Structure 1
């Protein structure tokens, strides 16, 4: 008998109390086709009103956990429909996130000396472990702060308004002041930890520093590169909007571009799948080029499409198409039946490499490259015409795909 990791089990493990405690109705799927509707946006807003950030300084929670998923979902939906209610929830989450950073959080939960021998501006996964380690999870909180700053900075009408909910941490009373604080503090984590100690660049490629207690001297796994790239990309976009530091924009963009080129030039295996289409196989990290598990592969693909959709890094639609073919032709074994690895194989004794009866969230965006598989992939992710969803990350990806397929955004109801 096959052992599959079900969506119910995965959501219970990953989402925790943040979503379970939400009292709002599930988010509405009015239709799979056509522009994103005002009702769909409003149902998302209604849902997030019942969410609260979890009181935890864990970097894992802010990256792969429910708080991290919520932040990315809100940023995606704001890009489709820039509603002030979304910004207000984003600032609420970012205030909590920043207040929990090691150098800001009071002792004993904060002010901890980490593996660098300093009280660095980080969000450690396991604060009680000695030495306190850091890894790719540091990229996501930076990206959350920068994405909120970016959202505010592209909405000038908000600049002089006071942030709803007040300024309990004194991060800035107005939206513009708050955005500048988020951006400065995100840069601080990059300057005083990520690029100072955690990463070393070899020909511009990301490796963990030789003295890092986590993966010391090894290439950064692709899914963790996507976390760092999420931070660097949003920082570059926000600084570009603020027009305050072109050198930073150039530096951050160069890091992302170099490591994207590394993946597409050396980090994957190209082959023809059973349907006669181009497909990709890749690994957890270099120097291997095959057999990535689908838990991490989902985060890889989510990150690659995020960078592609930004339009900043020269990724062509043709380069993305094999991701869609890999998901639709290789990984999809049948209705709601997916392999545990990107090469179509499974290890059902493994949490990360086991077959699943649903499509993992990050892989949803591959439907952009396989419009013929769109309906099946959405159904496999739990999105059905006239249905609903209780997972913000899933719903935000659906809205992103729907909006792009329709060639428009949800202009109805946009207000500030």
Structure 2
């Protein structure tokens, strides 16, 4: 069977359609040592039961279940290279592409957005007229590009590159060295860091595709320079403060958008951290472990107050509502940081996972556990 990525296994397609009954659970074999066959099997047995969202209402393809599940499959495939994991991810990627506003039939698609056109975006609320879009509504794009860049290592892939690039860059401009959104959501204001990470994911995947194909060094260089400028802006352009925690460790403090540098909320902070970590593990953008360690120090020494007690902002000073509300669990983006804090790794992972327990239905959390476990095993 062919989707926009090339050939993928029939088993993944029929497995996704025909499975009935309760979902399997992903289970931890151990917190130490290499990732086990049983852990990988439990992950693949779980994702075969998943069905992709049928639209982006409520940001299902952004930070919603289908978006996080697609990302989890990509991460586990990148780590273990199992074909069945890739097959299931491509099933989701085909779904998200088919639901793009300009491709899908009404009522999922064919909505005029704030530009006046039926543009290639994924609106999350079509009840407002004109339909608004923001950086998050382009995040489904990088899910698709992620699948494409992974699939290129297996077979010839497909990238309608100019169309997708337009959806990222068409609505933004620089004002006084600040990347601003020229759209209905936060129009004329700096793009928040979590949204910059969304764009960076797409550029990263385009870079990966061109490296694999070795077909266009000019475009590769262009995409890399845009991504690198965003990363440099955070680390070297005033996006973050470096401080000392009460425990004496070096920590970061930053805010939701550029020009402010303190008190990012826990929810968006986790998305920011996940974006920087993904760029770090790619290995092509000069982010070092030394640059990542203050994120880990910040979570362990500032945000962690005790067992099942995590503060709502990265500066540890305030607890609010919504995205800044304290949590009893660890937001999954922060789990990546256990790679840089080996002493705290087990306590971070065991906050929501257990050995020999009933398992978990959180694909994003479990995939990050597997990733960090693998990183630790390789480092020993």
Q: What is the TM-score of this pair, normalised by structure 1?
A: 0.82
Whether 1:364 aligns to 2:338 is no
Which has the bigger relative contact order, CA under 8 A and spacing at least 6? Answer: 1
Question: Where does residue 383 of structure 1 map in the other structure?
Answer: 353
Q: Distance in 1 between matches of 2:98 and 2:279?
A: 28
Alignment of 1:8-407 (within 5 A): 23-58=22-57, 60-155=59-154, 159=155, 176=156, 179-180=157-158, 183-184=159-160, 187-191=162-166, 193-196=167-170, 198-201=171-174, 206-209=179-182, 212-265=183-236, 266-348=238-320, 350-380=321-351, 382-387=352-357, 388-407=359-378
Relative to 1, partners in 2 of residues 1:32 and 1:187: Cα closer, same or farther, differing over 3 Å?
farther
User: What is the aligned-residue RMSD (CA, Å)?
Assistant: 1.8
Equivalent pair of 2:27/2:355 in contact (CA under 8 Å) = no
- With 382-391 and 325-334 compared, the bigger mean Cα shift is at 382-391
Deviations 1:266-285 (A, max 9, x none): 11111110111100111010
Q: What is the TM-score of this pair, normalised by structure 2?
A: 0.90
Question: Where does residue 17 of structure 2 map in the other structure?
Answer: none
Structure 2: 5+ residue stretches without partners: 1-19
Equivalent pair of 1:299/1:362 in contact (CA under 8 Å) = yes
Displacement after TM superposition at 1:313 (Å):
0.8
Structure 1: 5+ residue stretches without partners: 1-20, 160-175, 409-416
Equivalent pair of 2:122/2:138 in contact (CA under 8 Å) = no
Equivalent pair of 2:197/2:275 in contact (CA under 8 Å) = yes
Q: Distance in 1 between matches of 2:176 and 2:229?
A: 9
Displacement after TM superposition at 1:372 (Å):
1.2
Deviations 1:181-235 (A, max 9, x none): xx21x641322x3212x222458753212xx111111111011111111111111
Equivalent pair of 1:30/1:386 in contact (CA under 8 Å) = yes
Relative to 1, partners in 2 of residues 1:398 and 1:279: Cα closer, same or farther, differing over 3 Å?
same
For residue 228 of structure 1, give the secondary structure of its aligned residue in structure 2.
helix
